[in-house]
Amino acid sequence: MEQMLAARLHIPSRTLRIEEVAKPEPGPGQVLVKVEAAGVCLSDVHLIDGTLTPLLLRGDTVTLGHEVSGTIAGTGPGVTRWTPGQRVVLYAGEIREGVTYTRGVDYDGGWAEYALSSEHALTELPAAIPFDQGAIIPDAVSTPWGAITVTGAVKPAEAVGVWGVGGLGVHAVQLLRTVGAYPVVAIDPNPTARERALAQGADLALDSADPALRERIREATGGAGLAAAFDFAGVPAVRAQALSVLAAKGRLVLVGLTDQPLTVADGTRFSYLQQQILGHYGSDMPVALPQLLSLIQGGRLDFSASISGELPLAQAAEAVERLENKTGDPIRLILRP
Ligand SMILES: NC(=O)c1ccc[n+]([C@@H]2O[C@H](COP(=O)([O-])OP(=O)(O)OC[C@H]3O[C@@H](n4cnc5c(N)ncnc54)[C@H](O)[C@@H]3O)[C@@H](O)[C@H]2O)c1
């Protein structure tokens, strides 16, 4: 049986190992993809540190990686829509019988030489878009896109705040400009992240530790506060801070993941102002990916500045550590099998 390399996480011990495993065979309705690029997300860090646990995984070990691009290497019985050699982006998850399964969490992902996909859970990657940028679209770009356009339903000229301008948040800034939000306020304790947010189109970038943060946001929004606030950090303090500067009828959208409780300090104020807190997860990929790929191809969006470095698959642990410790302030690191 042919073998391949894969970076696999043993869930009970949270041990990440590069292992030789059997190269998968595509079954009926499946395709085999030769992985060209796979992104490293803070969710991978959380899976390894134990703050995130797969809910639907069968067995106790999973190949990580939910941001994956590659080429079709083979097709299973009955697959007619894909042919070997086509460039593709894999969806970061699949809906099976109404339940969302996340790639690299609930089933094997793309930190491997090859990955399997349902023939319906991938889309063609145009030749003009490199594999590294293609890889990050299914999550680091498309998750904020879904949060902005669907869950947060941001309208033109609405004042918005982005907490956490890392891998997802910096793209949120770019996407909020694309949909015409104004002003776009970025909030992050990391000065490099704030500079980057300004370079990508934020109107204002604030330090989350700034004692005058509330006043500055009030000033920037003509006293009204934010129509929409986005947590792209997954930090409980962010939620309290965002609620304190949310306008009447404002929406707080929670994209960052944390296992800590969600608290509303003043329930009466929250109800009186008719505010909303909305959970967000992933995106509707059959809709979002073609939209984003078309905006990139048309020159409206460019994520070339988001690829902070590339490492061979064998150095997956080092890539995780660099993202966790913000070594070199990466936006997205890419693994190349
Ligand atoms: N809901 C989803 O579908 C989904 C998908 C992917 C990732 N996530 C989650 O989104 C979050 C962000 O992921 P990422 O890969 O962009 O991470 P990242 O590490 O690249 O970025 C996180 C950013 O948050 C900033 N931050 C930390 N504390 C802050 C604070 N108090 N206020 C403001 N900013 C703060 C950091 O400085 C950093 O710039 C993670 O929690 C991840 O698990 C959720």
Residue to mutate (ligand 1; options 168, 235, 325; most atoms within 8 A of CB): 168
Do 117 and 218 sit in the same domain of this protein? no
Spell out the residues 6+ positions from residue 264 whose beta carbon is closer than 8 angstroms to its own: 243, 270, 277
Instruction: Give 71's Cβ-side CA count (13 Å radius).
Output: 8
What is the amino acid identity at position 156? Answer: P
- Residue found by looking up tokens 């490199």 in the block: 130
Q: Is the peptide bond before 183 cis (omega within 30 degrees of 0)?
A: yes
Is pLDDT at 1 greater than 90 in this prediction? no
pLDDT tens figures, 117-140: 999 999 999 999 999 999 999 999
Do 329 and 316 sit in the same domain of this protein? yes
Cβ contact 202:162 at 8 Å: yes
CATH number, domain with residue 238: 3.40.50.720
Which one, of 180, 173, 172, 185, lies nearest residue 156 by Cα? 180
Q: How many A from CA of 240 to the centre of ligand 1?
A: 16
Is pLDDT at 54 greater than 90 in this prediction? yes
The number of distinct structural domains making up the chain is 2
pLDDT tens figures, 74-109: 999 999 999 999 999 999 999 999 999 999 999 999
Quote the pTM value. Answer: 0.95
Name the percent of the chain in helix, strand, coil, to the closest 5. 30, 30, 40
Do 273 and 164 sit in the same domain of this protein? yes
Cβ contact 127:69 at 8 Å: no
Is pLDDT at 36 greater than 90 in this prediction? yes
Q: Which atom of ligand 1 is nearest to the CA of 168?
A: 16
The residue contributing the CA closest to ligand 1 atom 7 is 43
CATH number, domain with residue 77: 3.90.180.10
% the chain with pLDDT above 70: 100
pLDDT tens figures, 163-203: 999 999 999 999 999 999 999 999 999 999 999 999 999 99
Mean pLDDT, residues 113-120: 98
pLDDT at 332: 95
Do 129 and 15 sit in the same domain of this protein? yes
Do 307 and 208 sit in the same domain of this protein? no
Which one, of 157, 200, 204, lies nearest residue 181 by Cα? 157
Domain C-terminal end among 279, 295, 316? 279
Do 7 and 134 sit in the same domain of this protein? yes
| Burial (CB count <10 Å: 0-12, 13-18, 19+), residue 177 | middle
Pocket of ligand 1 (CB under 6 A): 41-43, 46, 139, 143, 163-169, 187-190, 193, 208, 232-235, 237-238, 255-257, 280-282
Is pLDDT at 267 greater than 90 in this prediction? yes
Domain C-terminal end among 252, 279, 306? 279
Do 35 and 82 sit in the same domain of this protein? yes
Range of the domain at 11: 3-138+283-336
